[in-house]
Amino acid sequence: MTNSPIQIPVPLSRQPYEVIIQEGGLNNIGKELLKAGIQKGIKVLVVSNEDVAEPYSKICLNSLSSSGYDPNLITVEAGEQNKNLSTISIIHNAAYSAKIERGSLFIALGGGVVGDMTGFAASTWLRGIDVVQIPTTLLAMVDAAIGGKTGVNHSGGKNLIGAFHQPRLVLIDPSTLTTLPRREFIAGMAEVIKYGIIEDLELFNYLEKIQLYNETSSMQLDQSQIYKILERSVKTKAKIVTADEKEKGIRAILNYGHTFGHVIETLCGYGTWLHGEAVAMGMVAVGELSVIRGDWTKEEANRQKKLIQKTGLPYKWPKLDRDKVLDTLQGDKKVKDGNIRFIIPKKIGLVELQDTVSTEEIKYCLELLN
């Protein structure tokens, strides 16, 4: 059974765009660009990484050429450890060589790291050119590719350098998930679970019932289950980004689990844990913090932990020096007026922003987690 395409609008006032979920959609990327009003004939720089370019770049480039675009491909190293300004320079150099102009386009074909870097390179090349996101990992499909957050890591913290730069279009082709390694698929599920906790109780209940892989490690989910996961997650993301494009308020709830998660990524070394894995451990940690504060029930925190564990995600807090954890928390973007901002779960499907968490509560939480 083939599901029909789903179009989910992101109706931002300055630059509205669509997220299209379409099995085999990569074959039609050229036509989709034309439909989105992107001028025929322009130069397009497709940025990808070897593992993704090998199976998918030809399909993408052929579709672009057939629709009258002039595409070039560059591959960069993916992985959080390469999400830095040196890789941005490599993309800028490729843009220079390909004579990318103001009216040209960048396309990100890959996971969250490729998407974040391509978006950032596009936001800075010639003071900003258009970008289209074609996410090929579950994590990028449900989160990173939508909403215009772009950037790179700094040695002091995750994503400290970046810009908001909304894409012209996001095209999700679920068939690209067939080549995604199991560990990466599972890591992407952390962001799906996140949507369950912050907004979507029904999705959370659904995730508790489904089985991702069978005993022989083969994907157990069928196409309609994958569509359901994608559609519900994208709808929540689109709704929140539309309400608060630049994270002045409500959008911060999308960072649920990320405050502690970013600490894990920074202190364990970028690339040790996949982003989604760090978020999973971060969600368990902030669940514990919420229980300590009396904001959440132990039962619901356990339900979250059980779902994370069942999904195959790590849930135990890694061994980390407590003072370094506190220092890194202070350096995160989520610090406001010196207070660390946490997204605290109140019940499954409802969270709130909290700037009042005390250092004592954090220390106590870390003691319990260790």
**Residue closer to ligand GLY (CB basis): 114 or 254:** 254
Q: For ligand GLY, give the closer residue by CB, 46 or 194.
A: 194
The residues with which 130 forms a beta bridge, in sequence order, are 105
Structure tokens at 87: 């890789």
| Binding test (CB under 6 A) with ligand GLY, winner from 83, 158, 235, 251 | 251
Burial 60-81 (b: 16+ CB within 10 A, else e): bbebbeebebebbbbbbebebe
Q: For the segment 286-345, give every residue that binds ligand GLY (CB under 6 A).
A: none
> Residue 277, interface with ligand GLY (CB under 6 A)?
no
**Cross-strand pairs, 43:** 70
Distance CA 25, CA 210 (A): 26
C-alpha–C-alpha distance, residues 198 and 65, integer Å = 42
Q: Which is nearer to ligand GLY, 251 or 341 (CB)?
A: 251
Q: Interface residues for ligand GLY in 253-272 (CB under 6 A)?
A: 254-255
Q: Which stretch binds ligand GLY (CB under 6 A): 143-151, 165-173, 182-190, 299-307?
A: 143-151
Rounded to whole angstroms, how far apart are CA atoms 161 and 126? 18
Cβ atoms of residues 275 and 139 within 8 Å: yes
Residues classed as catalytic: 127, 149, 191, 237, 247, 251, 255, 258, 262, 275
Q: How far is the CB of 244 from ligand GLY (least distance, A)?
A: 9
**143 is a site residue for ligand GLY (CB under 6 A):** yes
Q: Does 197 bind ligand GLY (CB under 6 A)?
A: no
Q: What is the distance between the alpha carbons of residues 105 and 214, in angstroms, rounded to a whole number? A: 41
Nearer CB in complex with ligand GLY: 26/113: 113
Residue with structure tokens 């954890």? Answer: 325
Is there binding between residue 281 and ligand GLY (CB under 6 A)? no
The residues of the shown chain that bind ligand GLY, judged by CB under 6 A, are 143, 147, 149, 251, 254-255
